Amino acid sequence: MISLHTFNLIVIGWIIAGLITFPLTLSITAPYGRHTKKGWGPLINNRIAWILMEAPVLMIFALLFLLGPNPKSITTWIFFALFMIHYVHRVFIFPLRIRTKGKKMPVSVMLMAVCFNLINGFLIGYWFGFLSHAYPLSWLSDPRFIIGVLVFIAGMVINIHSDQVLLDLRKGGRTGYSIPYGGFFRYISCPNFFGEILEWSGYALLTWCLPTLSFLVWTIINLVPRALDHHRWYNNSFPDYPTGRKAILPYIL
C-alpha cells in the first residue's frame, strides 16, 4: 500500500509534470478531429478510439474505489456517482452519437490519452478507495460541497448542450463543418470544453482533495490549447465568423 506521504508526492509530481508540459501543448496541435494530419502513424476509427481511450479512467476509478478498504459513506458514494455519471456519458453515450462517418484518429494519440486517463483514474480512485480522510455526513452542508455540486451540474449541462449543438450541425446527413450557434456558443468557440472545465472545478471543490485538483489542472492543460486551436481554425475557415467570440472563457480568452 502506498503511504499518504508518498502518494501526495506522486500527485504533486504529476501536477508539476503538467505545468511543465503546458507550453508544449500550446505549441503542438493534437492531430485528430478537424486537425487531423498525416505523420502520426496508423489511424483508427474515431468512435472506437474514443471509447478505448476514455474507458480506462472509468474502470480503474471504479475498481479502486469499490475494492479499496476505506469505509464508504453517503458522501463518498455521491463523489463516486458524480464521477461515474460523467464518464458513463463520455464513454458509452457520447461516442455512439457522433455523426462523423469515416473520421480517423492516430493510434499514437489514442494511446497517449489511455496513459493519461489511467494515471488520473488511478490517483482519484486510490485516494477514495485507500487513503482519503473521512467525509462525514456533515460535509454535505459544507459550502464547498454545495457550491461544488452546483458548479459541477452547471458544467455538465453546458457541456452536454454544447455537444448537442455540434451534433445537430450534421443532421440530415450533412457533412463538413459550419459555424455553431446557440447557448454558450454566443460567447465562446468551445463551450463544451468550458463546461468540462467547470465540471472538474466543481468536483475539485466539492471533494476538496489533491488528486481531484490535479485532475482539474490537467483538464485545463489539455483543453485550453485545444480550444485556442479550434478558435484559430474557425476564424481562418469562416470569414463571417463572429468577431466577438472568445476561445474558451467568455469575454476573456
Nearest to 3 by CA among 131, 109, 117: 131
DSSP state of 106: E
Average pLDDT (176-188) is 90
The more confident residue out of 33 and 47 is 47
Are the C-beta atoms of residues 117 and 187 closer than 8 Å to each other?
no
Query: How far apart are alpha carbons 252 and 250 in whole angstroms?
Result: 5
Helix (H, G, I), strand (E, B) or coil at 77: helix
| pLDDT recorded at residue 101 | 67
The more confident residue out of 65 and 171 is 65
Query: How far apart are alpha carbons 11 and 32 in whole angstroms?
Result: 29
pLDDT per position as a tens digit, 17-45: 999 999 988 887 767 666 666 667 788 88
Residues with Cβ < 8 Å from 8, sequence gap 6 or more?
Answer: 210
* Greatest alpha-carbon span in the chain: 58
Q: Judging by beta carbons within 10 Å of its beta carbon (0-12, 13-18, 19+), is residue 133 exposed, middle or buried?
A: exposed
The ranges assigned to domains in the chain are 4-237
Q: Residue 169: is its pLDDT beyond 80?
A: yes
pLDDT per position as a tens digit, 57-112: 999 999 999 999 999 999 999 999 999 999 999 898 888 777 666 677 888 888 98
Distances (CA, A) of 62 to 71, 83, 91, 151, 223: 15, 9, 14, 23, 24
Please work out, in degrees rounded to the nearest 5, the angle formed at the alpha carbon of residue 53 by the alpha carbons of 48 and 56.
Answer: 120
DSSP state of 102: T
Residues with Cβ < 8 Å from 112, sequence gap 6 or more?
Answer: none
Strand blocks (E) in 69-122: 104-106
Backbone angles phi, psi at 188, to 5 degrees: -140, 160
Question: Mean pLDDT for the chain?
Answer: 91
Judge if pTM exceeds 0.75: yes
Q: Judging by beta carbons within 10 Å of its beta carbon (0-12, 13-18, 19+), is residue 144 exposed, middle or buried?
A: middle
